[in-house]
Amino acid sequence: MGPRNRLLLWLLVGGPIAVFSLWAAFDNTRLYFVTLLNGLTLASLYFIVASGFTLVFGLMRNVNLAHGSLYLLGGYVGYVVAGITGWWVVALAVGFLAAALGGLLMQVLILRHMQGQELRQTMVTIGLSIVIADILLWIFTGQVHQLEAPEWLQGPIRGIPLINAYSAYRLSLLGFGIAIGIGLWWLLNRTRVGMMIRAGVDDRGMLAASGINVNRVFAITFALGAGLAGFGGVIGAVELSMVPGEDTRLLLVSLIVVIVGGMGSVPGAAIGAVILGLAETYGLAYAPTYSVVFTFVILILVLAFRPRGIMGGKG
C-alpha cells in the first residue's frame, strides 16, 4: 500500500474518530475521559488473555478454542485458593499455574500426537472446551462467584482531575497489562527461550534442524499461553465475576483481538486489544443498543481489507 493510500486510510478511519472525540469531549467531558480509561483498562485485560492465544497460534499454528475454558479454570481455581488462604496474590499465582498445568497436559497428552493436523487439533480443543466448561459448571454450579479484590486495591481513588473518582482495581488492570506486556517483550527478546520461540514462529523446520528440542519449546509455549489465560481469569474474576458463559465471551474476545491485531504477533495483540476495548466501552457509553455489533463491524472491515490483521506479517 503506497504512502498516499496509507494516508488516505488514516484519514478515512481517523477522521470520524477525531470529529466524534471533539464533540464528545465538549459535550460531557467527564464521561468521555472516564470511558477512555474504562476502555484502556478493559483492553489490558483483553490483552493479557489474547496474548496467550496469539503466542500459541503464532508458534504452533494451533487455534486453541479451549482458551476460554482455561480462563474460567484459572478464575475458579483462584477463587477457591483466595477463599482458603485469603491472599489474592497467591490466588493469582495459583490460577496462573493451574491453567498452565492444564495447558501443558493438553499439549503433552493430546495435541502433541497430532502435530501437523491443524484442523484435528482445533476440533480437539473445541471438544475439550465443551467438556471443561461442563465439568466446571458441575463443580461450581451456575451461581455467581465474585472474587474480592485485596484491601489495598479496593475502593475508589479520589481526587483525580476531571474524573473525580475511579476504581483503583480497574487502574491496577492497566498496570497488570503493561507489566505483562513488558514481561512478554523481555521474555521473547532477551531470553534464550524467547529466541527459540521467535525462531520457531519464523521457521519451525529450521528450529528442529538446529537440534533444539522442539517439543519442549512447544510445551513451554502452550503452558505459558494457557497460564496467561488463567491469570486473566483471576483478574477478571474480580472485575467481571465468574459465571459460565464467560469462557465463550473471552474466547470470542481473544479471537477478535488476534484477528484484528494479527496472528502470532504480541504487539498486534496489544493494538487489537486497545481497538476492541475502546470500541466496546465507547459503544456501551454512547450507543448501547448496538455496541456489540460495532466490534464485529471492525472485525469485518479488517477482514475485508487486511485479512492478515494489522500487524499480521506471516499469516
Asked whether position 204 contacts another protein by CB under 8 A, the answer is: no
206 vs 222: CA distance, rounded Å: 20
Q: Is 5 in the site for another protein (CB under 8 A)?
A: no
User: Should residue 145 be labelled a site residue for another protein when binding is judged by CB under 8 A?
Assistant: yes
Nearer to another protein, 174 or 187 (CB): 174
Least distance from another protein to the Cβ atom of residue 155, Å: 7
Q: Are 125 and 221 in contact (CB under 8 A)?
A: no
119 lies in the binding site for another protein (CB under 8 A): yes
Residue 284 or 310: the one with the smaller Cβ distance to another protein is 284
Question: Which span sits near another protein by CB under 8 A: 15-23, 134-142, 193-201, 216-224?
Answer: 134-142
Residue 221 or 281: the one with the smaller Cβ distance to another protein is: 281
How many residues bind another protein (CB under 8 A)? The answer is 84
Q: Measured between alpha carbons, how far is 110 from 105 in angstroms, rounded to an integer?
A: 8
Site for another protein in 155-174 (CB under 8 A): 155-156, 158, 164-170
Span near another protein by CB under 8 A; candidates 11-19, 32-40, 175-183, 190-198: 32-40
The neighbouring-strand residues paired with 166 are 157
Q: Report the run of H or E that residue 281 belongs to, with start and end.
A: helix 266-286
Per-residue mark of binding to another protein, 90-109 (x: CB under 8 A): --------------------
Provide, rounded to whole angstroms, the least separation between the CB of residue 131 and another protein: 4
For the CB of residue 132, give the shortest distance to another protein in the complex, in Å: 8
The residue from 71, 262, 280, 311 that contacts another protein (CB under 8 A) is 280
CB-count burial class (<10 Å; 0-12, 13-18, 19+) for 267 = middle
3 state DSSP class of 164? strand
Query: Applying CB under 8 A, which part among 12-20, 27-35, 186-194, 221-229 lies near another protein?
Result: 27-35
What x-and-dash track marks residues 205-244 binding another protein by CB under 8 A? ---------------------------------xxxx-xx
User: Which residues from 39-68 bind another protein, rule CB under 8 A?
Assistant: 41-42, 61, 63, 65
Q: Which of 109, 72, 113 is nearest to 243 (CA)?
A: 72
Q: What burial class does residue 49 get, using C-beta atoms within 10 Å of its C-beta: 0-12 exposed, 13-18 middle, 19+ buried?
A: buried
| H helix runs in 61-141, sequence order | 67-85, 88-105, 118-140
Beta bridge partners of 156: 167
Whether 61 and 114 have beta carbons less than 8 Å apart is answered as no
Q: Does 124 bind another protein (CB under 8 A)?
A: yes
- What are the cell numbers at 71? 480462563
Q: How far apart are CA 172 and CA 158, in angstroms?
A: 15
The CA-based angle 8-10-11, given to 5 degrees, is 65
Q: Does 248 bind another protein (CB under 8 A)?
A: yes
